[in-house]
Amino acid sequence: MKLFFAFIAFALSVGWAAPSAAAEVNPARGNVTYTPDVTFTFRTSIADGKLVFIGDAGAISGQINPDLKVPENAVVQINVINDDGAIHDIAVPEFGAKSDQLVGKGASTAIVFRATKSGTFEYLCTLPGHKAAGMFGKLIVGDPQAAVVSTALDVSQNPTSVGEPVGARAPMKVTLDLETTEVEGQLTTGSTYKYWTFNNKVPGPFVRVRVGDTITVNLTNSKEATHIHSVDFHAVTGPGGGAAVTQVAPGQTKSFTFKAMHPGLFVYHCATPMVAQHITNGMYGMILVEPEGGLSKVDREFYVMQGELYTAQKHGSQGLQEFSLEKLLDENPEHLMFNGSMHALSDKYKLQATVGETVRIFFGVGGPNLTSSFHVIGEVFDKVYDQASLTSPPLTDVQTTLVPPGGATMVEFKVDVPGNYILVDHALSRVEKGLAGILSVTGKEDPSIFHSNEKIDPTSGH
């Protein structure tokens, strides 16, 4: 009896709000269950520039956003203690469990639920922006070895795949081979989408040439495809940017040749009706036409494109996401992403640099509909080549730059302070739909540029 009252006292002290599964009759045992089968305790914190959950006891102690492994049908309790003073909560949406909000340092709460099915599910803080800032992890129910391994393709484009600078070379003949494919690709953990791609990546390959080059484009449509595809290069002077002569049926190849007459950074995309559907499904990329003599030297170059997906299922749904024509026509995307998937530039690939280096980002919007307000949180662009014009003087000291759908920009800046810098569209609600990336900068601190004034209590242990 003392144990029962001790448990109730603890539940009240942490503001416990649990579904009825926590206290139920178990026919196999013939009694009432008042205690969970598995308990985890988190502290909220800030680590490596992110909001996180940190394990506070047992096997997960000290781990950031640890995987929580529990048997199927177990009653699970997750305790959370506020250790950073911000407002938080915790939820496991798949099992309908959500806590009240933790307000103030030292506050605590808990959720209790029954893990009624096996698989991998998400726990997270549901406050706006907190998941995007890092407060989420995995709840693994049952034997993880028995979980079904996804066969979906990783379509996310590596941001460092920018090709070789042209330097001072003379104009030459260049051949570009593109294949259009229709593949089920990874959207995020537990969800997929039927992407249409160039060369199995979203965006398609970064093409790098110089003004005066003669480029032959060979476009092959995969024999497994079920739609006609084409390609329209905004750098091309000619009918449809090439699309008029590259409407390619499955299993066929068509070609055209063009001369790169204008330097700049240009978008290319499929231009087969309905064009917006082909683009949203992933059929876009960029071609850089460098000026004579090439671009100035920088230490790091990255290729980043913003895209939208319009699905019948709500953002965060599991399984295969299906295309919604209605949402496309209403210009109401469920998912937004950099480089093809939700975590392409945060988990799969990280943009990396060292203090003192200069960074150049080739940024474009595949769209097909939304204009981007491109911004890197914690940095100022030293140079912005507005509308990707490489022959106009760049703008200087710019915080945020507008890029229209089907448009591009080139930004450059020096990194002076170590830390994580988040790439966003400053229409910040879009972060909640997946639109964020991370530039990770390492190196020596410079307190004259930036330092924290927070006083640390030596007795707190934190």
Binding site as annotated, residues for Cu cation: 229, 234, 269-270, 278, 283, 426
H-assigned helices in 198-292? 275-280
At residue 3, what is the residue type?
A: L
- DSSP output for 11-51: HHHTT----GGGSEEETTTTEEE-S-SEEEEEEEEEETTEE
H or E segment to which residue 113 belongs: strand 108-114
Residue type, 106: G
Q: Are 264 and 364 in contact (CB under 8 A)?
A: no
Contact 328, 276 (CB under 8 A): yes
Tell me how far apart the alpha carbons of residues 145 and 149 are, in angstroms, rounded to a whole number: 9
The residues that bridge with 338 in the sheet, in sequence order, are 306, 341
Distance CA 193, CA 282 (A): 10
Give the pair of three-digit tokens for residue 180. Answer: 């259009």
Can you say which residues are annotated as belonging to the binding site? 229, 234, 269-270, 278, 283, 426
d(CA 110, CA 129): 21
Classify residue 454 as left (phi > 0), alpha (psi -120 to 50) or beta: beta
Task: Output the six-digit token pair for 258.
Answer: 């063009």
What stretches of 310-416 adopt beta strand conformation (E)? Answer: 319-321, 335-338, 351-354, 358-367, 372-376, 381-385, 395-398, 400-403, 408-414
CA atoms within 13 A on the CB side of 307: 35
| Structure tokens that stand for 399 in this block | 């915080």
